[in-house]
């Protein structure tokens, strides 16, 4: 029913945008788009080409104050070619199949509406405001930003269409088109596999998120090849997708609607654990969580056990970094506990980027203190924490070649 | 059909042993029993009290030259109580439910056959020849040894009965009643849940086993409580037991019968991985493998990939220690590779206990060498390797108070 509804909206939109056509010489747009961190995980595709996932997934969109991608796109008959720069380095568009697919799909839509003259080329310049080495969901923010910017440039405004186009770049990018908490409905084809908002960031403003950036120089297995291998070799992945994830989605949506953090945390942890179980059930096995990741898992469970209910939960993407969800009232105790666990011998505190908390007056329960003392970790194994909250979906920064724009009016990147 | 057959054998045996009765004042026996390492894992019980597992499991019995338990049991009217010493420390028999259950079940059988006079008590003294801190299957060897010795003392000789009695002490102990490769048939009650031999140690004599003892001071979750928690909380364990393990058992038995090491290794690794996946899918998640365990997993897969087929496989029990199975022709290259990976900066080599190999002339392929160089581990993370082979089932060392006996004729332990 829901799927049919989206399809009709899509058809309606196509008809609507077909009715207007424009021509112009030069356009410019600069957009910011957020990172999202899944609480119900996307792992495995039904369709590799269209990036149709095995199961629905649900994520929180992080505030762009602390993590975001910024992309400027200029379109003009004064350029002689399509070119792109990512974090200061030129990348060959044609070498990246997914990038080409996104641009070509927007072009097809644009041609039939506002037009894409054959003598016009685009210039793209994109940057992240967070370290790419952090192993965070940079491709989600990046493709959401690119597709949102391209669509807005060509006056394609339907979020479902933008979401499905972003999906063609990187599956989880389709979720970064909305703020708050977002569900990607697996669907069965390009039009039906789209994300939609569950709640806005203002509907559960107490949520806090800590991204614990774990030192890790290598990522042995990319997400794309990892999920392919899981689909081919795990005897449990299909059972998970068909029998467990639907329950997880239902339960967590109910918990979100009821603002039941205890249950939200339980399902989040269970789903993260099961995703990594599927990785381990892959052949050869895939492993993203290391000893540091596990030290955080165990600490969170110990703290929750001490409180008698879940005051925090962890979730791990395809990497060793822990993402901790909690409510604002427990943020200081969590920050203080993790800092103590990773304190350097000289007393230097772990760096917190983003939202800071006053923790001087916070007293950690003796049992938790004893636990931390007995499991002290190497300080250098945790680099820093990005402390943030839920945030909005993408936004347009400017339509001018001004200080917010990453491109010069000759179509080359600044610096 | 098979299960029915075992049941008739059991009934026959009961009838047979009921026909003879004896009385005596003093008896002594000293027995050695082996450790076994599962290649298809036992995890989770259908019946907690009788230790009936969720699924069949298959293991290799290790040579008693390198790992074994030794137990002396004396039975006499000159003793005033039942007492027991384990690795030099007296343990209270009544405090250990499983120990009591084993002894009581043997007593019941003995009473109706050779007799167990009410004024007779037993003295038990047991030792392992391997470090208990190693986190190896010491309870399997220990209970196999205890039950084998008790049964032999009371002339109970049917291996199926001994196997089922050992199971009451520690599930996997039922497999240590046989040498070679052994399958524990899950069954449905005390009589049907027994182990039987798949092949003797002489039928595949080329098999070699390396127990890599990883430094680890804590074991956070005992096997017993861990498997209970998995049964209660993992949404995947039932699917594994019902749908995956039967295939793994069939495939590995076929591979064993065909002496197909490549396939044997594949199924062994897949089953170990899936067992740890189930642990991860438990809530809170259980984790036995640490960064060191994973460094060995990745090394084995890299070596196998270089050879183009599986020359070795790893399997992990409920702990961080890797058990590597290989054939004798590949033992030197494996030993040399692991030693290189864990070589100290001063060049000191990792200690190998048990079977040694001449590795001076062994040349490691350049690609494997480069891999090892790029993933060098901390030498202290791997303590030593026990190098062994498949071995026989339990054996009687002596029926005298001689040098092999651990007890003095006054029923007290030596030293």
pLDDT tops 50 at residue A145: yes
Is there a contact between A37 and A137 (Cβ–Cβ < 8 Å)? yes
Sign of the CA dihedral B59, B64, B66, B72?
A: positive
Is there a contact between A150 and A73 (Cβ–Cβ < 8 Å)? yes
CB contact under 8 A, A244 and B235: yes
Sign of the CA dihedral A253, A256, A260, A266?
A: positive
What's the mean pLDDT in A183-193? 97
DSSP state of A51: T
Question: What's the pLDDT tens digit per position in B27-84?
Answer: 999 999 999 999 999 999 999 999 999 999 999 999 999 999 999 999 999 999 999 9
pLDDT tops 50 at residue B17: no
Burial class (CB in 10 A: 0-12, 13-18, 19+), A267: buried
The Cα A299–Cα A320 span in angstroms is: 15
Tokens 């004798």, residue located: B328
Is there a contact between B294 and A284 (Cβ–Cβ < 8 Å)? no
- Picking from B239, B272, B273 by the largest number of A CB atoms within 10 A of its own CB, the best residue to mutate is B273
The Cα A52–Cα A74 span in angstroms is: 30
What's the mean pLDDT in B225-229? 94
The region of weakest confidence among A86-95, A124-133, A293-302, B193-202 is: A124-133
Confidence at residue A311, expressed as pLDDT on a 0 to 100 scale = 98
Higher pLDDT, B13 or A193: A193
The percentage of chain B sitting over the pLDDT mark of 90, rounded to a whole number, equals 81
Using a CB-CB cut-off of 8 Å, the residues of chain B touching A284 are 269, 297, 301
CB contact under 8 A, A282 and B290: no
Using a CB-CB cut-off of 8 Å, the residues of chain B touching A269 are 283-285
The Cα B347–Cα B353 span in angstroms is: 18
Please report which confidence band the pLDDT of residue B11 belongs to, taking 50, 70 and 90 as the band edges. Answer: low
Taken in order of first residue, the domains within chain A and their CATH numbers are 2-200+393-398 (3.30.230.10), 207-389 (3.30.70.890)
Is there a contact between B396 and B404 (Cβ–Cβ < 8 Å)? no
- Please report the beta strands in A44-189, taking only residues with DSSP state E, as ranges in sequence order: 45-47, 52-53, 57-61, 68-76, 83-86, 89-91, 121-128, 181-185
CB contact under 8 A, A239 and B244: no
Question: What's the pLDDT tens digit per position in A266-278?
Answer: 999 999 999 999 9
Using a CB-CB cut-off of 8 Å, the residues of chain B touching A276 are 280
The phi and psi torsions of A175 (rounded to 5 degrees) equal: -80, -25
pLDDT tops 80 at residue A24: no
The percentage of chain A sitting over the pLDDT mark of 90, rounded to a whole number, equals 81
CA A56 to chain centre: 15
Is there a contact between A289 and A316 (Cβ–Cβ < 8 Å)? yes
Count contacts between A and B (CB, < 8 Å): 71
The Cα A31–Cα A275 span in angstroms is: 32
Using a CB-CB cut-off of 8 Å, the residues of chain A touching B298 are 220
Using a CB-CB cut-off of 8 Å, the residues of chain A touching B277 are 236, 277-278, 280-281
Put simply, whether A13 touches B (Cβ < 8 Å) is no
Confidence at residue A216, expressed as pLDDT on a 0 to 100 scale = 61
Confidence at residue A20, expressed as pLDDT on a 0 to 100 scale = 44
The percentage of chain B sitting over the pLDDT mark of 70, rounded to a whole number, equals 91
The Cα B150–Cα B106 span in angstroms is: 7
Residue of A nearest to B235 (CA): A244
Give the Cα-Cα-Cα angle A197, A179, A57 (nearest 5 degrees): 50
Which residues lie below 8 Å from residue B398, measured CB to CB, with a gap of 6+? B29, B30, B404, B405
The complex's ipTM works out to: 0.90
Q: Which of B231, B317, B212, B216 is nearest to B272 (CA)?
A: B317
The Cα B209–Cα B207 span in angstroms is: 7
Is there a contact between A325 and A315 (Cβ–Cβ < 8 Å)? yes
Tokens 């959401």, residue located: A144
Is there a contact between B383 and B306 (Cβ–Cβ < 8 Å)? no
DSSP state of A409: T
The region of weakest confidence among A9-18, A67-76, B264-273, B354-363 is: A9-18
CB contact under 8 A, B283 and A297: no
What is the residue-averaged pLDDT of chain B? 91
Please report which confidence band the pLDDT of residue B376 belongs to, taking 50, 70 and 90 as the band edges. Answer: confident
CB contact under 8 A, A290 and B291: yes
Put simply, whether A277 touches B (Cβ < 8 Å) is yes
Q: Which of B160, B147, B118, B139 is nearest to B16 (CA)?
A: B160
DSSP per-residue string spanning B309-323? S-SEEEEE-SSS-EE
DSSP state of A414: P
Pick B236's closest partner by Cβ from A236, A290, A294.
Answer: A236
β-strands A382-389, A351-354 pairing: parallel
Is there a contact between A68 and A128 (Cβ–Cβ < 8 Å)? yes
Confidence at residue B132, expressed as pLDDT on a 0 to 100 scale = 62
pLDDT tops 70 at residue B207: yes
Give the Cα-Cα-Cα angle A54, A34, A240 (nearest 5 degrees): 20
Put simply, whether B242 touches A (Cβ < 8 Å) is no
Confidence at residue A130, expressed as pLDDT on a 0 to 100 scale = 74
Q: In what order do the strands lie in the sheet with B36-40?
A: B36-40, B57-61, B181-185, B194-199
SS3 B190: coil
- Picking from B215, B274, B374 by the largest number of A CB atoms within 10 A of its own CB, the best residue to mutate is B274
* Angle between helix A97-111 and A159-169 (nearest 10): 150
Interface of A with B in 198-227 (CB under 8 A): 220
Please report which confidence band the pLDDT of residue B21 belongs to, taking 50, 70 and 90 as the band edges. Answer: very low
The two tokens of residue B188 are 């449905």
pLDDT tops 70 at residue A319: yes
Is there a contact between B138 and B184 (Cβ–Cβ < 8 Å)? no
Confidence at residue B115, expressed as pLDDT on a 0 to 100 scale = 82
Closest approach of B86 to chain A, Cα-based (Å): 29
Distances (CA, A) of B56 to A353, B33, B222, B242, B362: 52, 22, 21, 10, 39
The residues that bridge with A40 in the sheet, in sequence order, are A58
pLDDT tops 50 at residue A21: no
Question: What's the pLDDT tens digit per position in A342-397?
Answer: 988 888 889 999 999 999 999 999 999 999 999 888 888 999 999 999 999 999 99
The Cα A211–Cα A322 span in angstroms is: 6
Using a CB-CB cut-off of 8 Å, the residues of chain A touching B291 are 290-291
Closest approach of A277 to chain B, Cα-based (Å): 4
Put simply, whether A298 touches B (Cβ < 8 Å) is yes
Which residues lie below 8 Å from residue B149, measured CB to CB, with a gap of 6+? B29, B30, B31, B71, B72, B73
Put simply, whether A339 touches B (Cβ < 8 Å) is no
Confidence at residue B223, expressed as pLDDT on a 0 to 100 scale = 87
Put simply, whether B269 touches A (Cβ < 8 Å) is yes
- Neighbour count for residue B59 (Cβ, 10 Å): 28
Closest approach of A252 to chain B, Cα-based (Å): 16
Number of residues that this document lists for chain A: 415
The Cα B247–Cα B236 span in angstroms is: 16
Please report which confidence band the pLDDT of residue A17 belongs to, taking 50, 70 and 90 as the band edges. Answer: very low
Confidence at residue B20, expressed as pLDDT on a 0 to 100 scale = 43
Put simply, whether B230 touches A (Cβ < 8 Å) is no
Pick A301's closest partner by Cβ from B244, B281, B284.
Answer: B284
User: What are all long-range contacts of B4-13, with beta carbons under 8 Å and residues at least 24 apart?
Assistant: B6/B160, B6/B185, B6/B187, B6/B191, B6/B192, B6/B194, B7/B191, B7/B192, B9/B158, B9/B160, B10/B158, B10/B160, B10/B161, B10/B191, B13/B158, B13/B160, B13/B161
Put simply, whether B263 touches A (Cβ < 8 Å) is no
Put simply, whether B301 touches A (Cβ < 8 Å) is yes
- Please report the beta strands in A118-269, taking only residues with DSSP state E, as ranges in sequence order: 121-128, 181-185, 194-199, 207-214
Please report which confidence band the pLDDT of residue B15 belongs to, taking 50, 70 and 90 as the band edges. Answer: very low
Closest approach of A21 to chain B, Cα-based (Å): 54
DSSP per-residue string spanning A361-393? T----HHHHHHHHHT---GGGEEEEEEEEB---
The two tokens of residue B207 are 């098999």
pLDDT tops 60 at residue A2: no
Using a CB-CB cut-off of 8 Å, the residues of chain B touching A297 are 284-285, 287
């Amino acid at each position: 029913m829901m799927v049919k509804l989206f399809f009709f909206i899509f058809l309606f939109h196509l008809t609507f945008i077909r009715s207007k056509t424009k021509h112009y010489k030069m356009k410019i747009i600069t957009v910011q788009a957020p990172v999202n961190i899944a609480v119900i995980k996307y792992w495995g595709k039904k369709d590799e080409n269209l990036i149709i996932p095995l199961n629905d997934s649900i994520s929180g969109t992080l505030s762009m104050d602390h993590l975001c991608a910024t992309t400027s796109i200029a379109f003009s008959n004064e350029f002689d070619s399509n070119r792109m720069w990512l974090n200061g380095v030129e990348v060959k568009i044609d070498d990246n199949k997914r990038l080409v697919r996104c641009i070509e799909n927007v072009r097809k839509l644009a041609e039939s509406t506002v037009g894409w003259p054959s003598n016009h080329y685009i210039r793209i310049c994109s940057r992240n405001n967070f370290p790419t080495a952090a192993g965070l969901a940079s491709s989600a923010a990046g493709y959401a930003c690119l597709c949102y910017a391209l669509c807005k440039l060509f006056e394609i405004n339907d979020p479902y269409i933008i979401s499905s186009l972003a999906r063609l770049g990187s599956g989880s990018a389709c979720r970064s088109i909305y703020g708050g908490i977002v569900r990607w409905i697996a669907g069965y084809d390009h039009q039906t596999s789209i994300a939609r908002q569950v709640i806005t960031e203002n509907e559960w403003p107490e949520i806090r998120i800590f991204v614990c950036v774990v030192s890790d120089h290598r990522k042995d297995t990319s997400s794309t090849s990892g999920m392919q291998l899981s689909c081919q070799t795990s005897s449990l992945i299909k059972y998970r997708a068909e029998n467990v994830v639907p329950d997880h989605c239902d339960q967590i949506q109910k918990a979100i609607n009821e603002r039941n953090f205890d249950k939200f945390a339980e399902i989040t942890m269970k789903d993260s654990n099961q995703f990594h179980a599927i990785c381990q059930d892959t052949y050869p096995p895939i492993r993203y969580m290391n000893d540091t990741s596990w030290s955080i898992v165990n600490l969170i469970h110990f703290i929750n056990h001490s409180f008698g209910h879940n005051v925090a939960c962890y979730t791990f993407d395809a990497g060793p970094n822990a993402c901790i969800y909690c409510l604002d009232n427990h943020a200081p105790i969590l920050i203080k506990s993790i800092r103590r666990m990773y304190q350097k011998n000289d007393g230097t505190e772990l760096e917190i980027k983003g939202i800071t908390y006053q923790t001087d007056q916070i007293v950690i329960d003796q049992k938790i203190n004893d636990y931390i003392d007995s499991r002290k970790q190497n300080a250098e194994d945790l680099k820093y924490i990005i402390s943030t909250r839920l945030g909005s979906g993408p936004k347009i920064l400017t339509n001018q070649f001004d200080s917010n724009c990453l491109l010069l009016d000759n179509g080359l990147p600044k610096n």
